[in-house]
Structure 1
Amino acid sequence: MEFNILEICLLAALLLCFFVQLYYVLGVHLKLATYQIKELPGAAGEPISVIICARNEAENLAKYLPAVFEQDYSKFEVIVVNDRSWDGTTDLLEEMGKRYVNLKVVHVPEGEKFIAGKKFAVTMGIKAASYDWLVFTDADCLPASKSWLRGMQQPDSSATQIVLGYSPYFKKRSLLNALIRFETFFTAVNYLSFALKGMPYMGVGRNLAYQKQLFFKTKGFAAHMHVPSGDDDLFVNANATAGNTVIQINPETHVWSEPKTTFLSYLRQKKRHVGAGKLYKAKHKFILSAQIIVQFLFYALAITLACFPHTHIAAVSVFLLSIIVRCFVYPKLLHRLNYKELKWWFPILDIILMLFLVINAVLAVFVKKVQWK
């Protein structure tokens, strides 16, 4: 069988995409799949300040905040930053303050100068913190166990300044929920694996810890205060290094979160994330952009070549080989990251996610305005 020049070029491009894909799967993500999860410390260490920013989160605070106070940790405070709420959050926190002596409430007053959104609220929470080690989560989050803070406490190594945690979403019966959880899985596998590889580039504010002194030493969010999002990933991107950052994925330290329930709200959330990603370091933008572009090209080339009479067998073979290789890595990771039921839908969700990421990238070009809440 002879191939023409076009078919040879397309096949070569497909193989190139396949080998680049293997780098991410076997060279990066396999590190997380084979990572030995450590046992949690048996005792609490230094005191901790837990910081939660809330804007009209009365319902979620009433539902999830008690689990934070029930942590098996000897000394910690919980700082809730009430960011101009009008849904009864203020009254709720006043009542909770009577039950929990380690609750500290910080109120963000109304005023035009306080338009920076969540970053301003986070900064106020950090300034109010009594302790150097800060653990962050959100109002709609639930720690997987009472051992969460023991896992997210400052490690023994004095060099460690940042701990990247993991936060899965609650399961709901819908395609949107499956997509959200799979996209969260993909994101987590990426940032946790690259951290293990010595190239930490982001973290999620639903489960993140770092030193207060690091925040002020590096001037906090000053470099990107004008960006509505990025209080978590942009701070980590700017300050995390191979020597000062570790990950924590022990199942007892996972923090479950409420997912978006409509495509519109989810698109708005992802738009904020895309906006923050534009300020990543150049090397991080390159590896992440290359990953998405190569994956998209792989599917596009495989589909195109499958339609050619001379190349359909080769295209299908490379595609199946890709699926087989990834099925040796990702189902284990799905199980490890609390999404084991998604492993049966992995190939389908992978294609849907790729289409979604492309659409979201296009929308990001035309939709400029974003806000926290």
Structure 2
Amino acid sequence: MLHSILFWLGAFTAIFFVGVFVELGIGGSRLRRLHQIPPLPDEEMPSVSIIVAARNEERAIEHALGSLLRQRGGEMEVIVVDDRSDDSTGAILDRMADVEPRLRVVHVTDLPKGWLGKNHALWMGAQSARGELLLFTDADIVMAPDAVARAAGYLSREGLDHLTVAPHVNMPGRLLTAFGVVFTIFFSLYTRPWRVRDPRSKQHVGIGAFNLVRADSYRRMGTHQAIAMRPDDDVKLGKLVKKNGMLQDFVLGPELVQVEWYSSIPEAVRGLRKNGFAGVDYRISLVMLATAVHVVFFIWPFIAVFATRGWTQAFYGFALLMILGLYAGCARAQKSAWWHGILFPIASVLFIVVIWNATIYALVNRGIEWRGTHYPLDELRANRI
């Protein structure tokens, strides 16, 4: 009986990964790359307001902000909202603003009820923005001088309301690098970014590193007020676009946009605690389903290929080739080593740990801690999109 179950499960797993391989392979090949998209001439460029939410970013803010201030093409301004920092972030920003006319700094000292700090900061920045386009980005993102011009030109030429750019993620160590690639694979399977351009599809996407949106579209969709209590605000901004019948697209930009993500495994687990439960809409049933899917399809095959024989082993061996092929393709796009794919099962276990850590933490503490503030779980759950 057990042999029969393993045989059919192995066969189904092999078929499953053929479908995944084809979907990701064909879909990924359709994605544009930002460095291959020509910018508009300066005189045709729409004005852009780059909006950054910063809290206790003294370590990286000056370098990242310098890259934003070096952006070329058209009329641009950079608005940084200092969200209640208690380090030297505010002083650094004020010093830079004294010598840089394109930089405006907004200091927030109190957080209104019903807001997450970051979301409120981005909303505050948008209220004073003068640009036709708004670029929401993080305080540790480094961009090449032509990144914004290329993205803004593409959005304008294609008649889009929203454009997301996927950055290159810098993480030290083989396991963290593998986790980053595996995370990208799972994110791609969840969002299907090659489908978001289709107005008939409900697929949507957003990445905090680079969310470019038309200012008038942003206001029509309800601004960040509609996602005031969403820790996954970047993805939900993309969902607001699709829910309001607007057009969005997704491009790859690792050559022009980079971010330093986490420096260690414990830091990654703690950092993703704020939005791991939100990613499944605070539903225990989805956490359990995600766990089962990961164990059956992304962990068990690495064991089964040694624990089975005959056709069952062949099925799982074929599935492993598909998994490693998926990893190699994604690693190539992210400019990392393909052979780190041998760490796929460990990275997948880490992904489960992240989700359960976030879930248990939110349930035990009745909320999350983010940027030094506790947010009640009931209020987080109430902000459904």
TM range (shorter): 0.7 to 0.9
Q: Secondary structure at the match of 1:142?
A: strand
Q: In structure 2, what residue type is equivalent to 1:372?
A: W
Superposition deviation, residue 290 in structure 1: 7.0
Distance in structure 1 (CA, Å) of the matches to 2:334 and 2:55? 29
* Structure 1 contact 270–360 (Cα < 8 Å) conserved: yes
Superposition deviation, residue 125 in structure 1: 1.0
Q: Secondary structure at the match of 2:52?
A: strand
Matched, 1:140 2:140: yes
Q: Secondary structure at the match of 2:145?
A: coil
* Structure 1 contact 40–250 (Cα < 8 Å) conserved: no
Q: Secondary structure at the match of 1:215?
A: helix
* Structure 2 contact 304–316 (Cα < 8 Å) conserved: no
How far does the alpha carbon of each residue in 1:96-115 deviate from its partner, in whole angstroms, 9 at most, with x for none?
A: 11221111111112356486
2:360 to 357, 362, 366: 366
Matched, 1:249 2:252: yes
User: What residue number does 1:53 align with?
Assistant: 53
Superposition deviation, residue 133 in structure 1: 0.9
Superposition deviation, residue 328 in structure 1: 4.5
* Structure 2 contact 52–139 (Cα < 8 Å) conserved: yes
1:20 to 13, 16, 25: 16
* Structure 2 contact 168–254 (Cα < 8 Å) conserved: no
Q: In structure 1, what residue type is equivalent to 2:8?
A: A
Distance in structure 2 (CA, Å) of the matches to 1:264 and 1:300? 21
Distance in structure 2 (CA, Å) of the matches to 1:139 and 1:299? 34
Question: 1:57–1:306: structure 2 CA closer, same or farther, 3 Å change rule?
Answer: closer
* Structure 1 contact 33–332 (Cα < 8 Å) conserved: no
2:310 to 306, 313, 327: 313
Question: 1:113–1:300: structure 2 CA closer, same or farther, 3 Å change rule?
Answer: closer
Matched, 1:195 2:196: yes
2:216 to 213, 217, 223: 213
User: What residue number does 1:102 align with?
Assistant: 102
Question: 1:236–1:214: structure 2 CA closer, same or farther, 3 Å change rule?
Answer: same
Q: Secondary structure at the match of 1:296?
A: helix
Q: Secondary structure at the match of 1:107?
A: strand
User: What residue number does 1:258 align with?
Assistant: 260
Distance in structure 2 (CA, Å) of the matches to 1:53 and 1:267? 22
Superposition deviation, residue 140 in structure 1: 1.3
1:267 to 263, 266, 269: 269
Distance in structure 2 (CA, Å) of the matches to 1:63 and 1:49? 19
Question: 1:312–1:156: structure 2 CA closer, same or farther, 3 Å change rule?
Answer: same
* Structure 1 contact 53–122 (Cα < 8 Å) conserved: yes
How far does the alpha carbon of each residue in 1:139-168 deviate from its partner, in whole angstroms, 9 at most, with x for none?
A: 11111x211111221523564111010122
Q: Secondary structure at the match of 1:80?
A: strand
User: What residue number does 1:70 align with?
Assistant: 70
Percent identical pairs in the alignment equals 18
Distance in structure 1 (CA, Å) of the matches to 2:241 and 2:128? 22
Question: 1:329–1:295: structure 2 CA closer, same or farther, 3 Å change rule?
Answer: same
Q: Secondary structure at the match of 1:169?
A: strand
Question: 1:187–1:72: structure 2 CA closer, same or farther, 3 Å change rule?
Answer: farther
Pairwise CA RMSD: 3.1
How far does the alpha carbon of each residue in 1:340-371 deviate from its partner, in whole angstroms, 9 at most, with x for none?
A: x2x1111x232112111222232233111423
1:41 to 34, 39, 42: 39
Q: Secondary structure at the match of 2:176?
A: helix
Distance in structure 1 (CA, Å) of the matches to 2:41 and 2:194? 28
User: What residue number does 1:177 align with?
Assistant: 176
Superposition deviation, residue 210 in structure 1: 1.2
* Structure 1 contact 114–120 (Cα < 8 Å) conserved: no
User: What residue number does 1:125 align with?
Assistant: 125
Superposition deviation, residue 48 in structure 1: 0.4
Q: Secondary structure at the match of 1:71?
A: coil
Q: In structure 2, what residue type is equivalent to 1:149?
A: V
Q: Which runs of 5 or more structure 2 residues have no equivalent in the other structure?
A: 372-385
Q: In structure 2, what residue type is equivalent to 1:363?
A: N
Q: Which runs of 5 or more structure 1 residues have no equivalent in the other structure?
A: none
Matched, 1:351 2:345: yes
Distance in structure 1 (CA, Å) of the matches to 2:213 and 2:112? 30
Distance in structure 2 (CA, Å) of the matches to 1:159 and 1:355? 41
How far does the alpha carbon of each residue in 1:240-269 deviate from its partner, in whole angstroms, 9 at most, with x for none?
A: 37961112224543x211222233321122
Superposition deviation, residue 19 in structure 1: 2.1
Superposition deviation, residue 298 in structure 1: 2.7
* Structure 2 contact 11–312 (Cα < 8 Å) conserved: no
TM-score (norm 1): 0.83
